[in-house]
């Protein structure tokens, strides 16, 4: 199985359950791994045959930047759904982190996997 990844994609969003969090934008960091067979794009050297990580990144930036969820769990789930449905990905592993959200921790968040991981 091949994996296309996006690492440390930073997006500011309204996220959180506290009143003060609803009034500000906070940075989020995303790591995304997506199953994709890279043999065809490697053979054709044509971007049209790839899982375009720039297109995935732009879609997440747009969605997350306009979102306003209470929980990172909800946001992560919606992002995984977008990746699978709009980009035809069968398996995705997504980490959504809130840097600096907890004193003493670099970041906190969730890691989810959705779909069937190809062999």
Residue 98 is a catalytic residue: yes
- Tokens standing for residue 110: 């969730």
**Catalytic entry in 40, 54, 58, 98:** 98
Cβ-based burial of 59 (10 A; exposed 0-12, middle 13-18, buried ≥19): middle
- The region, left, alpha or beta by phi > 0 then psi within -120 to 50, assigned to residue 91 is beta
Give catalytic residues, as residue numbers. 98
């Amino acid at each position: 199985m091949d994996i296309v990844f996006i690492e440390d994609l930073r997006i500011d969003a309204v996220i959180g359950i506290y009143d003060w969090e609803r009034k500000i934008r906070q940075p989020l960091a995303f790591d995304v791994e997506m199953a994709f067979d890279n043999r065809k794009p490697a053979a054709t050297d044509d971007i049209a045959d790839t899982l375009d990580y720039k297109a995935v990144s732009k879609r997440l930036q747009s969605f997350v930047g306009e979102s306003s969820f209470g929980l990172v769990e909800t946001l992560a789930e919606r992002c995984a759904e977008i990746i699978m449905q709009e980009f035809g990905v069968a398996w995705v592993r997504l980490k959504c982190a809130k840097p600096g959200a907890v004193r003493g921790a670099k970041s906190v968040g969730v890691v989810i996997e959705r779909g069937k991981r190809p062999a």
